[in-house]
Copies of this chain bind each other. A is one copy, B any other.
Amino acid sequence: MKWNDTLTGIDRRALVSGLALLPVAEALPSTPALAQVVQADPLASWNDGPAKQTIVDFVHATTDQGSPKFVPPEDRIATFDQDGTLWVEHPIYSQVMYCLDRVPAVVELKPALKKFESFKTVLSGDREAIAKLSLHELEQILFTTLTGMSVEAFVAEASKWLETAKHPRWKRLYTELTYQPMLEVLQYFRENGYRTYIVTGGGQDFVRVYSQRVYGIPPEQVVGTAGGTKFIRDTDGKPFLMKEPKLLLNDDKAGKPEGIHLMIGRRPRAAFGNSVGDRDMLEYTSAGDGARLMMLVLHDDAQREYAYGPTRGLPDTRVGTFTPELDAEAKKNGWTVISMKDDWKRIFSLD
């Protein structure tokens, strides 16, 4: 296996440092309740306030034929970061959890991997040690667990994991930890003729496994960090696509507008993010003519979710960094910051 050295966009600390923070056993009661509210208000989980009003005003202005800000239907593209914008990203990205969880099975298939320090460390289960893996070692883990199999085999593996793996704090499936207010935004935009796209630093193939079911977003509207595939034949001569350890698109920071151009070919009218990784996507969106909406989710609710920043007195945890510079840029450019604490009545779709 050849390691690709171009995966420079991944911040090692951002990926695994959260591991050390995992609570050993935290048993918050899970209180699922059916969300069968008659939605006269399409944004029912939002408190009245400037964030909600900004969204409603934008959708009204861009879909009203008489408005000077009217946007023709074909041009209605809205892009959404995933981790920290549509679902929980703390204490560690769920896809990295997936890769770490897959290590034992991969090592069983390829025992030679046990010789690598990185694999030894993951197999040891020592969270402190895993959190200290180098970027290069982490790349080994990611490429080995995400590639070297057919596209179909990957989908089967990832689906199985998603059906059983649970978040350490809430003891719930990761796919249940989506933000209800953002699901409402996705739906509200679609009902108003917008095509909603996920534009994520996460793996494109990974997110496509559940995007339709969880977000109502089909695979072709998921733009993410993408590895190459190779069209080859199996021993019976049947052709298939093999996932290769080769990075085609690092869909983070500048890679987001670049990925949007590659995969969509249109500039978004609205873009939602939560960190410096989304800054370039929001700048690209805002640099277009006419009505544009740029919004950032601020994680300031330690009680119901997490509080991290490091802006506005929030701790710097490196995952999903909302920096003071990003905060200042948002203020300067009139981007709207969504306070999870103040703007959201509820957090999760199953609350």
A207 to chain B, nearest CB (A): 10
A241 to B257, CA, bound (A): 8
A265 and B208 contact, Cβ closer than 8 Å, known pairs A257-B241, A287-B240: yes
Bitwise interface map of A from 253 to 276 toward B, beta carbon under 8 Å scored 1, else 0 = 010011001111110000000000
- Are B262 and A229 in contact, CB atoms less than 8 angstroms apart? yes
Bitwise interface map of A from 15 to 26 toward B, beta carbon under 8 Å scored 1, else 0 = 000000000000
Could you list which residues of chain A lie within 8 angstroms of chain B, going by C-beta atoms?
74, 151, 195, 204-205, 208, 212, 218-220, 222, 226, 228-231, 238-241, 248-249, 254, 257-258, 261-266, 280, 283-284, 287
- Are A230 and B254 in contact, CB atoms less than 8 angstroms apart? yes
- Are B248 and A262 in contact, CB atoms less than 8 angstroms apart? yes
Which of A151, A239, A257, A261 has the most chain B CB atoms closer than 10 A to its own CB? A261
A108 to B143, CA, bound (A): 46
How many copies of this chain does the complex contain? 2
* Closest B residue, CB atoms, query A218: B74
A231 and B266 contact, Cβ closer than 8 Å, known pairs A239-B287, A241-B261, A258-B241: no
Chain B residues near A263: list those with CB within 8 A. Answer: 220, 263
A283 to B263, CA, bound (A): 24
25 CB < 8 A contacts A-B: A74-B218, A151-B261, A208-B265, A219-B264, A219-B265, A219-B266, A220-B263, A220-B264, A222-B265, A226-B262, A228-B258, A229-B261, A229-B262, A230-B258, A231-B254, A231-B257, A238-B287, A239-B283, A239-B287, A240-B287, A241-B261, A241-B284, A248-B248, A248-B249, A248-B262
A239 to B288, CA, bound (A): 10
Chain B residues near A74: list those with CB within 8 A. Answer: 212, 218
A222 to B266, CA, bound (A): 12
- Are A280 and B231 in contact, CB atoms less than 8 angstroms apart? yes
A233 to chain B, nearest CB (A): 9
Counting from the closest, the 8 A-B pairs by CB-CB distance are A219-B265, A231-B254, A231-B257, A220-B264, A239-B283, A208-B265, A229-B258, A229-B261
A220 to B204, CA, bound (A): 16
A257 to chain B, nearest CB (A): 5
A50 to B272, CA, bound (A): 51
A238 to B289, CA, bound (A): 12
- Are B220 and A266 in contact, CB atoms less than 8 angstroms apart? yes
* Closest B residue, CB atoms, query A249: B248
A204-B265, A219-B266, A230-B254 provided; 18 other pairs, C-beta below 8 A? A195-B220, A208-B265, A219-B264, A219-B265, A220-B266, A222-B265, A228-B258, A229-B257, A229-B258, A231-B254, A231-B257, A231-B284, A239-B280, A239-B284, A241-B257, A241-B261, A241-B284, A248-B249
